[in-house]
Amino acid sequence: MAGALVPRERLGWSLNAVALGALEGGLLGVIVKNQFADAASPLAVSLAVAAVTGAPAFANLSSFLFAGLALGRDRARVLSGLMALIGACLLFMPLAQHDAAGLILLTLLTVVARVAWSGILTVRATVWRANFPRGLRGHVTARFERLSSLVVGSFSALVGLALAWSGGAWRLLFPLAACCALAAAAVYRRTPVRRQGRLLQAEALGEGRRGLSLRAMAALLRRDRDFRRYMIGMMVFGGGNLMVLPMLVIQVVDYFQLGRMQQVLITSSLPVLVLCFTVTFWAARLDSRHIISYRVVHVWNFVAMEVVFGLAVATHQPALLWLGAALMGSALGGGQLGWNLGHNDFAGDADSSVYMATHVSLTGVRGLVMPVIGVAVVQWLEQLRPGLGAYAMVFPLALTLAGSLWFVHLYRERRRLGLPL
């Protein structure tokens, strides 16, 4: 059955990938920074950049609500409705005018679309757990991520090319992305979920229904020590990573003053395309080991990326930005796999959605805070001395390095205790 489901999944997520190409944080950050630069104060525009680049993360604060919405309902129909909502947001985004109201409208629609995508990720985790066995899950996910990243990177590059040709040309391409999201909703509406009746019964008897509140998620973290410690590492490590993109957008526009096509390629298209070619490498490692053992290798890719970006800005070498973007793609390839599937190494069938909801809600907390902190650090350093903001990349690097060392500690502890690695 897993093999029979792959073609439908491939079609659905390929169509979704076009919509995600339009919603890429780096792409939208470049659009906001260039097209709305005169719509509001520089600080307000920078905060909007932080919002659209951080939306993929902080939208996850709504995940536990979607986990509750899905209980007792056909999972495929819930996913289909959320895909249709994304399509509606993309249809309205080109209507944003070049003024403060337009900036607010574009930012709000981005957040709503990303909240819907957060719901899709939360519900999809249960569907993929049911439809694909543990030994194949990473491999199948990698296939979808590979195809999706190729489409996302290509579409974001197409929008970048349109921006280079004419600043407002992006408005012509977003309706196409909207139509693809609506088509994906139609495709996914009748996707079967293996043993869905048994799954709903397990949720009713297990912790699923009780787990859909902040209090219950806090109780889960108190009860499961291993998962709690994993989440601590993700908060520190992931917090550093989420500061990088808004900083990078500001620096490639203001500091390096690159062309619009180059801005989109560095912040969006190149990382996503590199993800396409590296996700298989990471999938093979995820399928064969515990998430802690996986993270202890994967985290250093992010550290290397931030070191290269820091050197690029500190030495004013634009060529290093391309290397950093390639490292970002590899890091994101492994990161998406671990983020989507890592909680399964702690969860059972009845409470997997609760673990996922807890995981992505905590991602939302750091996504809400860290991009704003990153932008604030750049602005603060620039106020101290013009040009000093170029060294702001030290802050996310310090957090990412601390989180990486924490995962090394967790790995050594598991090995000493003889736990599965």
Q: What is the pLDDT of residue 294?
A: 93
On whether the CB atoms of residues 129 and 5 are closer than 8 A, the answer is: no
195 pLDDT band, cuts 50/70/90, is low
Higher pLDDT, 199 or 13: 13
Report the alpha-carbon distance of residue 281 to residue 301 in Å, rounded: 13
- Could you state, in order of their start, the residue ranges of all structural domains in the chain? 2-417
Q: What is the pLDDT of residue 411?
A: 93
Asked if pLDDT for residue 211 goes beyond 60, the answer is no
Asked if pLDDT for residue 311 goes beyond 70, the answer is yes
Average pLDDT of the segment spanning 149-157 = 87
Asked if pLDDT for residue 210 goes beyond 60, the answer is no
Name the amino acid, one letter, at 143: R
CATH class of the domain whose range is 2-417: mainly alpha
Cβ-based neighbours of 55, under 8 Å, separated by 6 or more: 25, 110, 111, 114, 367
Question: pTM (2 decimals)?
Answer: 0.81
132 pLDDT band, cuts 50/70/90, is low
Tens of pLDDT, residue by residue over 58-108, are 887 877 677 677 666 677 788 889 999 999 999 999 999 989 999 999 999
Average pLDDT of the segment spanning 116-130 = 79
